[in-house]
Structure 1
Amino acid sequence: MPQTLLVGRSEVEAWLNRWTEINGNINKILPSPRSENRGNGEINAEITAYSFDRVVVTDSAAIAQFLIANNFHFENNCAVLSITGYPENIFNTVLEMLRRNPELKVYAIHDASPRGVALVNYLRTNPNWFSASTATIYDLGLIPRQVIKNPKLFMGNSQESAQEGRRLGPEIRSSLSAEEVTWLESGNFVELESFSPRKLLQIITQGIALSRSSIDSEAVTNLNYDDGDTYSSVGIFLVDSFG
């Protein structure tokens, strides 16, 4: 059942701003990804020396920022980008490097939402991403069937999400059950922030390890298909559990 926050984001931000005015900045609270992007205008020349065989692509800048701030990219030897273009100062450079790698593995991380469930299809079909690539794409994000009957997760609801759910194309609906489609069209969603930072890092790390251990693992469902595009050979796999 959808839940409502008793305290809104604006109220929390007002309290936090007042607290920092009196006590100073809180070092472990990340700034807005947008403001952070504005503060970094130079590209480290060493970035082009790296060769990434893996990339994590998130559906929000906030999750990408969180992963990078926790050194996820170093510990897992992978690039981290958001579908929205974060981190802005190195985004184009890193993406171009990734597209040149014929052995690239892509890990999609997303909310259980209309935008989230559409992420893999967007990565596979968009020419600015991997439509002309031999990359293998793994869906490690939240999907509705993982959260519909989980009372421990915070379920949101909005008219905007309902409208986006009703606009989902047939290529996305075909991978969902009727119950999942109805859930999305009703405006429901569950965000990755429903998990604690430690748990979220653990889940994503384990998902990547699972995909690397064996392509035949029972926990990975092969969704590879041929769309008739002779220039693209993108394999898509779904990890059918989250946490």
Structure 2
Amino acid sequence: MERFDGRTVFVTGATSGMGASHVRGFHAEGARVVIAARDLEAASAFAGELGERAFAVRLDVTDEEAWTAAASAAEERFGPVSVLVNNAGAQHVAALIEDTALEVWERALAVNLTGQFLGIKHLAPSLRRAGGGSIVTIASTMANVGSPYYAPYVAAKWALRGLTKTAALELGRDGIRVNSVHPGVISTPLITSPVVAGQPAIGDLYSPAPFAVPRLGEPGEVTALVLHLASAESAFATGSEFVLDGGLLLGPALAA
């Protein structure tokens, strides 16, 4: 028996990068997976590839009405949701605070913070109907430090830590655990491709050379941790932060 047989898992930002990896990981472990993404065509193609235990819904995580519709469609198709992976996130053009447009600030908070708030708000009732479950919020190592040129993203991810801990306190007696994962420099388009032409990719600014584990992380490594936190194996963990960064936050490692 697989860890998620008979359980419904809802993943946002689910058609590429870490989100797609999470979808494949849960599906391989027996879950019915709801693939939520802004691009319904891509989500539907992904669901078609996986088969009958996958279902696509269109979701802009900043749109509350879209959350209401997606939550309802997911439960109608597969029954109550047991796991929510709040994965959707977006980076922005690099700029000093004084050069950052207000709309850039507001968009970063809308996607990276408000979107996760709305996910918890609209799917917690479904997890309660399922008899409990797990919510995993995807934060970042930028939630633990400052980072020049990325103030909106940093601010949103720091705030997400507080949201995660508060949700854990509110939902714990309903059998719902809430934890955050803080990936470092992971080999996904968000890291390896420039946000806009003419600017370096984020991965170019954070060379793994000084890390204790001197390489980029792989999406599957994050997925393995997400699966653990969503499963009964981590039944005593809630409101906790799990850093997966190869030692980025530790500082430069001793040279070999």
Asked if Structure 1 and Structure 2 have the same fold, meaning a TM-score greater than 0.5 normalized by the shorter chain, the answer is no
TM-score under structure 2 length normalisation:
0.41
Q: Which structure has the larger Rg?
A: 1
Q: Which has the larger share of helix? A: 2
Could you tell me the TM-score, scaled by structure 1's length? 0.42
